Amino acid sequence: MRSTTVLSSLALWTSISAATYVLEDEYSMTDAFFDDFTFYTATDPTDGYVDYVDQSTASSAGLISATDGTVYIGVDSTNVASSSGRQSVRLTSNKAYLHGLVILDLAHMPGGVCGTWPAFWMVGSDWPTDGEIDIIEGVNTQTMNQMTLHTSDGCSIVDSGFAGELVSDNCYVDASGQSSNEGCAIESTLTDSYGTGFNAAGGGVYAMEWTSSAISVWYFPSSSIPSDITAGSPDPSTWSTPQASFAGDCDIDSHFLAQNIVFDITFCGDWAGDVWSDYSTCAALASTCDDYVANYPSAFNETYWSINSLKVYSSSSSSAAATSAAVYGSAALSSSAAAAAATVPANPSTFVSAPSVTAAAATTTAAAATSATDPASQGQGQGQGQGQGSHGFQGEFHGDYSAGSHMPRDIQPPLRRSSVQKMRKTRRGYGHGHGHGHF
């Protein structure tokens, strides 16, 4: 009798602990995709040399499109840029999510090109109180993906449970001993996880699982996507060790509230621009990042997202979709989900770019994973190590920078490279201090 009870308890525990995910949203891989996002057209909070355009401008200029079940999000790669910057887009999902499993299947990503700073990330409506989750991010010729959280005080992570390399462990944007807005960051050690190497491998899948106990990110090259993902019944408990897993002294649920999904491609600014001179291969091309980005449009013909699918799963054992009436920037749009859902750019007067919840249940289009070989690329270690040779940081360069938050700090001006920063350049974080704010 007793052992029977124990057994059934164990069985129950097992079934609860293995979260079962059910599809909540599959974003349409047609032009309707863009109706589920808001085009951000305000000044880039991260000081980028970029001109974020609205939907109709982006569409007519060919910066966005959907063909054959693939969504394209790119930048202007034909015109010399004006003083306002290179044309690009920054998209924020109309719907926000709380917990869940976000799976992005990409045929191609931007990045790996001098001057670029793309990211696929999530952010709450009240930054940093509601948290920020950076899933894909990098600058210039970086080849390994960096994953980062930015939070309010009281959230730090431990260096275990993931395959990547810890860059910084305090997620608080004002953590002492870290650069302003550095956040907690983990860098992949896989040279096909970002930019050029990723694309050479035929793309791949990024999966981010967010539970009350951890936020984890997996990367799978297109040649080795788990079959449960392809089958549409993902079970993270069966996957390999994640590239990043953020957990430790952090109450996830109090630091991460409803998050909107963001795709952006910016140029230069507080991260890519600030470290321009450290990337010698880039610095050799032009004296400043802005000069290069302005005058060499064709250099950015590979600076685009090509999305095979974007699916959000929710745990069948927990409430999933966020229903909070997220405040859209200033109070102006806070009560209008319809306004947030509109394709008309919203121009929030504060840096907060997360529109509120809209039931934008997307439709259709499964995406078959493409297959390709996984090149044993030496990208980062060699390319950037080489670039850093004069500074004596060979092969370590990629770890010298922490993530740049996409959200600004309006408390202090953006840090520029200085002798102080150079002195602080260590394996654990250069503390670039990029991604601070303006406004």
Ligand X SMILES: *[C@@H]1O[C@H](CO)[C@@H](O)[C@H](O)[C@H]1NC(C)=O
Active site residues: 132, 137
Cα–Cα distances in angstroms (integers) from residue 378 to residues 116, 142, 191, 397, in the given order: 20, 11, 6, 13
In the complex, the smallest distance separating the C-beta of residue 130 from ligand X, rounded to whole angstroms, is 37
Question: Which amino acid is it at 166?
Answer: L
- In the complex with ligand X, which residue's Cβ is closer, 72 or 239? 72
Element (H, E) at 25: strand 21-26
In the complex, the smallest distance separating the C-beta of residue 52 from ligand X, rounded to whole angstroms, is 22
In the complex, the smallest distance separating the C-beta of residue 327 from ligand X, rounded to whole angstroms, is 39
- In the complex with ligand X, which residue's Cβ is closer, 182 or 302? 302
Collapsed DSSP state (helix, strand, coil) of residue 228: helix
Please, are residues 353 and 405 in contact by the beta-carbon 8 Å criterion?
no
- In the complex with ligand X, which residue's Cβ is closer, 32 or 61? 61
Closest residue to bound ligand X by CB: 301
Task: Find, among 302, 291, 283, 292, the residue nearest to 387 by Cα.
Answer: 283
In the complex, the smallest distance separating the C-beta of residue 67 from ligand X, rounded to whole angstroms, is 14
Cα–Cα distances in angstroms (integers) from residue 174 to residues 75, 150, 184, 293, 411, in the given order: 33, 10, 11, 31, 11
Interatomic CA distance for residues 75 and 87, integer angstroms: 6
Interatomic CA distance for residues 9 and 252, integer angstroms: 27
- In the complex with ligand X, which residue's Cβ is closer, 73 or 122? 73
Please, are residues 436 and 179 in contact by the beta-carbon 8 Å criterion?
no
Strand ranges (E), 211-258? 215-221, 244-246, 248-250
Residue with tokens 């869940």: 100
For residue 128, say if its preceding peptide bond is cis, omega within 30 degrees of 0: yes
For residue 57, give the DSSP letter: H
Task: Find, among 408, 407, 406, the residue nearest to 438 by Cα.
Answer: 408
Q: Which residues pair with 305 in a beta bridge?
A: 73
Both tokens assigned to 137: 């991010």
Within 10 Å of residue 298's Cβ, how many Cβ atoms? 8
In the complex, the smallest distance separating the C-beta of residue 375 from ligand X, rounded to whole angstroms, is 17
Please, are residues 200 and 213 in contact by the beta-carbon 8 Å criterion?
no
In the complex, the smallest distance separating the C-beta of residue 302 from ligand X, rounded to whole angstroms, is 5
- In the complex with ligand X, which residue's Cβ is closer, 301 or 323? 301
In the complex, the smallest distance separating the C-beta of residue 140 from ligand X, rounded to whole angstroms, is 18
Task: Find, among 400, 110, 413, 181, the residue nearest to 279 by Cα.
Answer: 400
- In the complex with ligand X, which residue's Cβ is closer, 41 or 199? 199
Q: Which residues bind ligand X (CB under 6 A)?
A: 301-302
- In the complex with ligand X, which residue's Cβ is closer, 158 or 299? 299
